[in-house]
Amino acid sequence: MKLAENLLQKLENRKQNNSLRQLPSFNNLVDFSSNDYIGFSKSESIFKHAHHYLVENEIMQNGATGSRLISGNHSLYQIAENFISQFHEAESALIFNSGYDANVGFFSAVPQRNDVILYDELSHASIRDGIVMSNAKSYKFNHNDFEDLERLIVKFQSSKFQIPINIYIVTETVFSMDGDTPNLEQLVELSEKYNCYLIVDEAHTLGVFGEKGEGLMQYLNLHNRIFARIMTFGKGLGCHGAAVLGSLELKEYLVNFARSFIYTTGLSPHSVATILMAYQQLETEKETIEKLRQNIVFFNQQKNLLGLKPMFVRSKSSIQSAIIPGNEKVKELAQQLQDKGFDVKPILSPTVPEGQERLRFCIHSYNSEEEINAVLGLLANFVF
């Protein structure tokens, strides 16, 4: 049976706008596109240690598929969640199958009817999807604009209906498309001033910020002043899964009400062992994390020397975005870089707003200074 006519038309519109998404093929290009910031997805050590851990502890014999509330809650989950909570100095950690599942589960379950969710307008799609599934009212505030956020907080706290409400504030410590960071100290102070619940998504800071890659909130010593952190493992840790960090009561609540946790098959023992081994390896990867930081600094220095700074969104993270308006133009530039051996991906509208299309460079610990020099030199030659 053919696809319905209205769906075919939506595909045709994407083609006409030069924005049709397609699955990329494997390539051997220099990696400036993956989120594998410190190379953990390629780590033989993590793979082997995960396997040996399962064999030595005979955990594979106890593994079974199913929801964690039925048959999928093998013993390794508790070991891994305890290690993660201690690593992040949190009361508890609850592992989800992915960052998407964690955000959808959290935001669809925690805010209640009559509550209000205030979210940054550039929040990730997984956050927005979870918010849509919630019974709470939701409103976006201008990107990293805390005057606008405070205006909304005051508006809803002084509502003429005088119904007791909880206000949830949502942001990211590093935004996935821009790579920028809000003033987190100011945001924490604002949430405390109005007794709001602050939730931060740290998907792009785990493995990147902090002495052991523990993330930005912990690095800034703000982690004990917020309601919840969401850590995603598919970036810096190079493996599947995510965890919600918070109080013991929050963990108990999510186990009971987060549908993306309750009604899904739990991760396999090998997946959970890989998460545990990746966290343990963070304890010994200080040189790799420092090399990543040096590469980020070097990238920023080189783009300034080459006169490229005005094109780029200001960022001190692993994500560096050069704004190239127009889907056709940014795809053409990406193809030119790929033809020269560098895997740089274009980000098209509607993923980003029209006119904000960009080349998105992801910096890794394993990129060399020569590679950074070369790819930025090519970009400068192509655009000037």
Q: Are 348 and 356 in contact (CB under 8 A)?
A: no
Q: 89 — alpha (psi -120 to 50), left (phi > 0) or beta?
A: left
Phi, psi angle pair for 305, to nearest 5°: -60, -30
In whole angstroms, give the CA distance from residue 212 to residue 248.
24
Q: Rounded to an integer, what distance in angstroms lies between the CA atom of residue 28 and that of residue 187?
A: 42
pLDDT digits (tens, 9 = 90+) for 321-373: 999 999 999 999 999 999 999 999 999 999 999 999 999 999 999 999 999 99
Tell me the pLDDT tens digit for each residue of 44-88.
999 899 988 888 877 665 556 788 988 888 889 999 999 999 999
Residue 144 makes CB contacts below 8 A (sequence gap 6+) with 120, 180, 182, 183
Least Cα distance to 308 among 358, 240, 368 occurs for 358
* Sheet strands (E) in 41-161: 92-96, 116-120, 137-141
The beta-strand segments (E) located in 13-124 are 30-31, 92-96, 116-120
Pairing assessment for the beta strands 345-347 and 30-31 based on DSSP bridges: unpaired
> Quick one: average pLDDT of 255-262?
97
Structure confidence by residue, pLDDT tens digits, 298-334: 999 999 999 999 999 999 999 999 999 999 999 999 9
CA 268 from centroid of its chain's CA atoms: 22
pLDDT in tens, 216-246: 999 999 999 999 999 999 999 999 999 999 9
Handedness of CA 123, 258, 110, 270 (dihedral sign): negative
**Is the model's pTM score more than 0.85?**
yes
- With beta carbons less than 8 A apart as the criterion, state whether 145 and 105 touch: no
Rounded mean pLDDT, 159-163:
59
Token readout for 203 is: 């998907």
Cα 97 from chain centre = 14
Mean pLDDT of the chain: 94
CA pair distance 105, 134, nearest whole angstrom? 10
Q: How far apart are CA 288 and CA 302, in angstroms?
A: 21
| CA of residue 176 relative to chain centroid, distance | 6
Question: What domains can you pick out in the chain, each with its CATH number?
Answer: 29-40+285-383 (3.90.1150.10), 59-282 (3.40.640.10)
d(CA 113, CA 187): 24
